[in-house]
Structure formats: C-alpha cells, structure tokens
C-alpha cells in the first residue's frame, strides 16, 4: 500500500493555483522522493490553466521540470488537478492519461484531485488522493500532511498570495515570471 507524506509547500501551491483560477481547470506536478511505496512530496509546480491535456507544451513543461528536479535531487512523483466545476470530484480521462504517463516513466504516481468544495475551509480535506491499484485509479486514505500545512495554506490564500503565484502558461506569455514559485 502506498504511503504519502505531504510537506507545507507542496500542500500550498496547488491550492493557491486553484484559488488564482477558480473558474478554470488547473494542473501541475508533484515532486519529491520515493522510497519503495513511500512517497514524500516536497514541492508542487503549477503547469496550466489553459492547456490541461496532453500537448507539446506539456512535454516542454515536464522536461523543464525534470531538469529542475534532477538539480534538486527530486523526482516527479505525482500530478495535481482541480476541475473547473466545483461539484466535479472525478478524475478526467486527460488527468488519468497524464498520470499514467508519469507512472510509466517514474514507476509510481499519486494524483491529487483538489476538492473545490472544501479546499478553502479550515480543517477540511483539500485533496482527494488517488493511487494506481488493481489496474485503476483509486482513492486512498494513506495521506499524511505535515503539521501546520493546512493552516499555512489557509493563511496564504487569505492574504491573497495566489496573486504572486505563476504557472507555466503564464511563463509562456512572459518569460520573466517565476513559474517554479520559489517564494513558497
């Protein structure tokens, strides 16, 4: 059974991304370290709010992220996604396809579906984690969130820090933007 540990930064960035673009699908990658079936997610990198399916830009973003991850001794170990419809809590076919690509390349993958109904509420689960088991993506309850991560994410959202967050889509329009979001 896969065990998932989530650090503060990796918790905050997907939620800030969803808060910045509440009417859009948003997605990005999760970086960290894998030790067998134990995944430790330390960083999230926001990719898109426009191009959420497989595209040449996804390949470019993944390659750039692989370089960043290698330089920081991390690997791509997951994908996050928020649906544009707040009531939609299912993984789209596109999300499954990207996650399957990551799983095949890296040997493991976790998918965090952002729960749009609850992510801005204190003490509510912000993510619906999925792992690949028995030839399908299934919800898992094996997620441990670093202490204070939820409170820090709520604080960043309340202080509108999502305005400072940039995704790869934005960096395609303005290369000076830090889509790796080192400030978090």
Count the neighbouring beta carbons within 10 Å of the beta carbon of residue 178: 12
Each residue's pLDDT expressed in tens, for the chain with a length of 184 residues: 788 999 999 999 999 999 999 989 999 999 999 988 899 999 999 999 986 666 888 889 999 999 999 999 999 999 999 999 888 889 999 999 999 999 988 888 999 999 988 877 766 688 999 999 989 999 999 898 888 898 899 999 999 999 999 999 999 999 999 999 987 7
In a domain, 179, yes or no: no
In a domain, 178, yes or no: no
Instruction: Domain of residue 92: give its range.
Output: 3-169
* The pLDDT value given to residue 122: 65
DSSP secondary structure letters along the chain: --EEEE-HHHHHHHHHHHHHSTTS-EEEEEEEEEETTEEEEEEEEEEESS--SS-HHHHHHHHHHHHHHHHTT-EEEEEEEE-SSTT--S--HHHHHHHHHHHHHHS--EEEEE-TTTTTSTTS--EEEEEEETTEEEE---EEEPTTHHHHHHHHHHTTGGGG---HHHHHH-TTS-TT-TT-
In a domain, 180, yes or no: no
Copy the structure tokens of residue 35: 């030790």
Task: Tell me the whole-structure pTM to 2 decimals.
Answer: 0.94
pLDDT digits (tens, 9 = 90+) for 86-123: 888 899 999 999 999 999 888 889 999 999 888 777 66
Sign of CA dihedral 131, 134, 135, 139: negative
Copy the structure tokens of residue 39: 């995944």
In a domain, 184, yes or no: no
The total number of structural domains in the chain stands at: 1
Instruction: Judge contact between 149 and 137, C-beta under 8 A.
Output: no
In a domain, 175, yes or no: no
In a domain, 138, yes or no: yes
CATH number of the domain that 69 lies in? Answer: 3.40.140.10
Cα→Cα distances 123→71, 79, 127, 151, 156, Å: 35, 23, 12, 8, 15
Instruction: Judge contact between 112 and 127, C-beta under 8 A.
Output: yes
In a domain, 181, yes or no: no
β 38-48/75-82 pair status: unpaired
In a domain, 165, yes or no: yes
């Amino acid at each position: 059974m896969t065990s998932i540990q989530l650090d503060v930064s990796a918790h905050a960035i997907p939620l800030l991304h969803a808060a910045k673009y509440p009417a859009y699908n948003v997605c990005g990658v999760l970086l960290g370290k894998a030790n067998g079936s134990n995944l430790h997610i330390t960083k999230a990198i926001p990719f898109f709010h426009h191009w959420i399916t497989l595209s040449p830009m996804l390949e470019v973003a993944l390659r750039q992220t692989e370089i960043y991850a290698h330089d920081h001794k991390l690997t791509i170990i997951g994908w996050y996604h928020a649906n544009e419809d707040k009531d939609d809590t299912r993984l789209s076919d596109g999300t499954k396809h990207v996650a399957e690509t990551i799983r095949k390349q890296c040997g493991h993958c976790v998918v965090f579906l952002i729960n749009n109904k609850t992510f801005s509420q204190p003490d509510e689960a912000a993510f619906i984690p999925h792992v690949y088991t028995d030839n399908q993506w299934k919800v898992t309850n094996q997620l441990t969130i670093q202490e204070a991560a939820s409170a820090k994410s709520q604080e960043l959202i309340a202080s509108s820090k999502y305005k400072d967050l940039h995704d790869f889509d934005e960096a395609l329009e303005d290369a000076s933007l830090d889509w790796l979001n080192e400030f978090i």
